[in-house]
Amino acid sequence: MECKSIMAAVDVAPECVDLIRQYAKLAKSFEAKLRLAHALPDGSADQRYGLDPQFRMFIAKSSREQLAAMQVQAGTDFEVCMAEGSVSKVVRDAALHHEADLVLLGRNTLRAPFGQLRTNAYSIIRDSPCPVLSV
């Protein structure tokens, strides 16, 4: 299987630092370009629940900062694809946009209590436009 582009689902949790390192090793073994995908909460809740739109901007900024800090810890500097929406939709759209040959999910994150990827694993696998590998 030729694999030149990899999309890796990631959450902003401390255990994802090791996961990013694992993703990097796998991408290096394939000699593939790796990008990280992260989903932000959908902005439609702002109007339904009377949330301040500034709060959504704060969440996006905070997520970017956390992912940047995690990458410093992991020793990586991958492009991050971040968008609002369901996790499976964000990962799928990013994989399609970047013509990914493979989507990565982390088993460590899947087992973590309340881990966002754990609860969305099936939908990510179901919606993926390419093979999915659990690392």
CATH number at 112 reads 3.40.50.620
Domains contained in the chain, number: 1
| pLDDT for residue 21 is more than 80 | yes
- The DSSP code sequence of 6-62 is EEEE--SSTTHHHHHHHHHHHHHHHT-EEEEEEEEPPTTHHHHHT--HHHHHHHHHH
Sign of torsion over alpha carbons 67, 71, 72, 78: negative
Eight-state DSSP code of residue 76: -
Q: Is the model more confident about 104 or about 49?
A: 104
- Which residue range forms the structural domain that includes residue 120? 5-134
Q: How far apart are CA 80 and CA 9, in angstroms?
A: 10
Q: What percent of the chain has pLDDT over 90?
A: 68
pTM: 0.87
User: Cα angle at 24 between 18 and 30, to 5 degrees?
Assistant: 145
d(CA 120, CA 110): 9
d(CA 37, CA 94): 7
Average pLDDT over every residue of 12-32: 95
Report pLDDT digits (tens) over 53-71: 788 888 899 999 999 999 9
pLDDT at residue 101, rounded to an integer: 98
Q: Please answer whether residues 128 and 93 qualify as being in contact, where contact means their C-beta atoms are separated by less than 8 angstroms.
A: no
